[in-house]
Chains A and B, each alone.
Chain A
Amino acid sequence: MSVKPDVIRKCLWPACLVGLFITGILSLDCNFLNIHLSRVTWQNLRLLSVMSNSFSIECLRENKAFELPEEILSHTQPVKNDIKEAFYEASIQAFNIFSQYTFRSAWEEKHLKQIQIGLGQQLQYLEQCLEEEEKENEDMKEMEEEGTKHSATMVPRLSHLELRRYFNRIDNFLKEKKYSHCAWEIVRVEIRRCFYLLLKSIALLRRK
């Protein structure tokens, strides 16, 4: 009997967080998406850095190489859409992983909530702008070609698959270590590393 309230509590909370800001997100202009992504990512980086002071040096024994696909995020000529889609994939995967964290005294609860809120906003913003771009692309293709519809979402790109595999490795690590404190510390540091690379990709895109 006590299981349902816990499940509801776990699922409801992220849903409410996303729904609270959906109206605000829909009114955002996609031309400022890069600025929003940079600001939110920087904020998440700082939060991930200060939210934990309980790292133990013994945790280094459980250290693992997750093989972050850096080449996807550091192209010489990053494609604009690829960066947005990489942001979307990384944001939703990180959101799902942090959602599995049970609130303990090791991490600052408020910092973790702020991270989740930021990721939620980022996801909605990205979805809106990506859908608009897809509609524009489809309209253009219908005008050029007849009877052929190509949707980017139906054929996931290789970069998305690489990122998905990366976050799957993180998720498996947590399960293997039974969501221990050291495992969470190692995952926190790894996701922070991923966010930093995404931030650099956006910075490179803005310079061009």
Chain B
Amino acid sequence: MLLSQNALAIRPLNLYPVVYISLLFGILHAVSVSPDESCISFNLTLRNFRLILSWELKNRSIVPTHYALSYTIMSRPAGEMIVEDCINITRSFCDLTDEWDSMTETYVTTVVGIRGNTTLVSCWDRVFPALDTSLEPPEFEIVGFTNHINVIVEFPPVIPKMLVMKNLQTQLSLIIEEKSGSIVKLHRPKIDGNTTGNFTYVIDKLIPNTEYCVSVYLEPKEAEKIRRSPLKCTLLQPGQESAAVFTSTIITLRRIGYICLRNNYPKVLNFRNQSAWVFPELPPLEAVALVEIIHINRKKKVWDYTYDDESDSDNEAVPRASAGGYTMHGLTGLCPASTSSASSEDCFDPDPEEPSLPQPGAESEPLMAPGPGPWQSECTDGAYERTRNLLQDPFPEEDSCSTEGTEDRIIFNVDLNSVCVSTLDDDDPEVPPVLSCIPEETVDLEDAEEMETSLLVAGGEGMQLPFPSPPVECLWPEDAPSEKSDTAESDVDIGDGYIMR
């Protein structure tokens, strides 16, 4: 009986642990389905003024491939809020700058770990940004001067709404630490919701020739939890400002070319890489020729209403005024004895009534009359030889040369560089003479050297053409044409251009 009673007593006692254990397993099973608080740790960081929530599962054996984030605000029973930018993400952090707008709230945050279509884990924890946010220092730069330092702090284009209160005042304070040796000073520049971009703060009243270090961090935080930025140091040099001004002035002057003139030579003039030295030919010496001007006095003729060929104006060498205001002198033929018959044919035939022209010396090189002005010369179209002949003999016409000398002579030196040469076209007196010393092709300035060389070759006897720039076109003064017609029949009309030398 006693045994049966004991057996009856023992059975309930044996059942109690069984019941307890079964209940325990049931509870654990229930707990494993619901989110577990202890399976995750959150880390809230303000980095470059962005609110970044990162997490890490405490059980590292569970490795989801994707995560989904949601949260509930404790003082706002509006239900669970899903973060759309953090659904089905592979990263283990989420930018909540635009989601969380209050530091005073407590956010019950849930992270679900997924692999494929299977939910591996669902963890949650409470986040109180006012105390749980790790404030990373902002980016900044320092510029040292003689007695002050510019601290430039980078702010975002828009400060997160969590950090700005309704009155635009910020939840955070910016602290700038100034260290010099063992002395530390704190600067609290005023910032608000409108502080954006590069914010410059000036630390002034500093001692020159002293090293200062600057660090930046954000408040509020307890002293032991402040995350200071790395120190940036600068040594304030005396006269640093003047040196900066001087340097900037030098740079500016150099850029505009006031000093260290630019030498933007063309590449063709760069001889550094050339192995062979090029010895440029010496420029031809300017030849100053001795010119003998023979002035021919002519009687003023009165037209007797006869058309006599003897009164051909071509034979005249009377100085006549051109429309351009120049007084022209005709250079009568100066045919040295050494000249060839061909050249003699080109000589101009002066008026036989006039005194004959003297024979010039063999060495003389008659050329155009220069100078202040008046000249009359002829040049023909065609080859360089004609040009040479022109230079040797300014009268390349068919008329024979007169060897008779004149009593009136003007001898003076002629600088060929100052002489302009023009031609007379006798074929059609109405047509203004075409002026071209150089052959018919238009000569570009770029071919200056070539032309000069060719002319040198044509010079033959060594006479050099010292004109620095070859004539390109022959242009008469513009006021010449109006009077051309007046002298077209009787006089040699002179064109409008000059041959530029």
- Using CB atoms and an 8 Å cutoff, list the residues of chain A in contact with chain B: 42, 45-46, 49, 55-58, 60, 63-66, 68, 74-76, 186, 189-190, 192-193, 196-197, 200, 203-204, 207
Is the CB–CB distance between B76 and A65 below 8 Å? yes
* B118 close to chain A: CB less than 8 A: no
Is the CB–CB distance between B128 and A192 below 8 Å? yes
B34: chain A residues at CB < 8 Å are: 57-58
The 8 Å CB contact of B104, one of A63, A186, A197, A203, is A197
Is the CB–CB distance between B128 and A200 below 8 Å? no
- What are 7 A-B pairs with beta-carbon distances under 8 A? A49-B128, A57-B124, A65-B75, A190-B74, A192-B128, A203-B220, A204-B169
The 8 Å CB contact of A189, one of B35, B106, B173, is B106
The 8 Å CB contact of B108, one of A46, A60, A75, A76, is A60
Shortest B380–chain A CB gap in Å is 99
> What is the total number of residues of chain B having a CB less than 8 Å from a CB of chain A?
27
A58: chain B residues at CB < 8 Å are: 34
Question: Given A74-B166, A200-B165, are A68 and B75 neighbors across the interface (CB < 8 Å)?
Answer: yes
- Proximity string of chain B (151-170) to chain A, C-beta cutoff 8 Å, 1 when within and 0 when not: 00000000000000111010
Shortest B168–chain A CB gap in Å is 9
Is the CB–CB distance between B169 and A193 below 8 Å? no
* B37 close to chain A: CB less than 8 A: yes
* B105 close to chain A: CB less than 8 A: yes
Is the CB–CB distance between B104 and A74 below 8 Å? no
* B131 close to chain A: CB less than 8 A: yes
The 8 Å CB contact of A65, one of B77, B171, B190, is B77
Q: Given A45-B131, A63-B72, A193-B106, 18 more contacts at CB 8 Å?
A: A42-B222, A55-B37, A55-B126, A56-B37, A57-B35, A58-B34, A60-B72, A60-B108, A63-B74, A65-B76, A65-B77, A189-B74, A192-B106, A193-B104, A196-B130, A197-B104, A200-B171, A203-B220
A65: chain B residues at CB < 8 Å are: 75-77
Shortest A190–chain B CB gap in Å is 6
B72: chain A residues at CB < 8 Å are: 60, 63
Is the CB–CB distance between A196 and B165 below 8 Å? no
The 8 Å CB contact of B167, one of A45, A68, A75, A192, is A75
Is the CB–CB distance between A66 and B75 below 8 Å? yes
State in angstroms the CA–CA spacing of A45 and B222 once bound together. 12
A200: chain B residues at CB < 8 Å are: 165, 171
Query: Which of A63, A65, A74 counts the most chain B CB atoms within 10 A?
Result: A63
State in angstroms the CA–CA spacing of A203 and B75 once bound together. 23
B166: chain A residues at CB < 8 Å are: 74
Shortest A71–chain B CB gap in Å is 8
Question: Given A57-B34, A60-B108, A68-B75, are A74 and B165 neighbors across the interface (CB < 8 Å)?
Answer: yes
B74: chain A residues at CB < 8 Å are: 60, 63, 186, 189-190
A45: chain B residues at CB < 8 Å are: 130-131
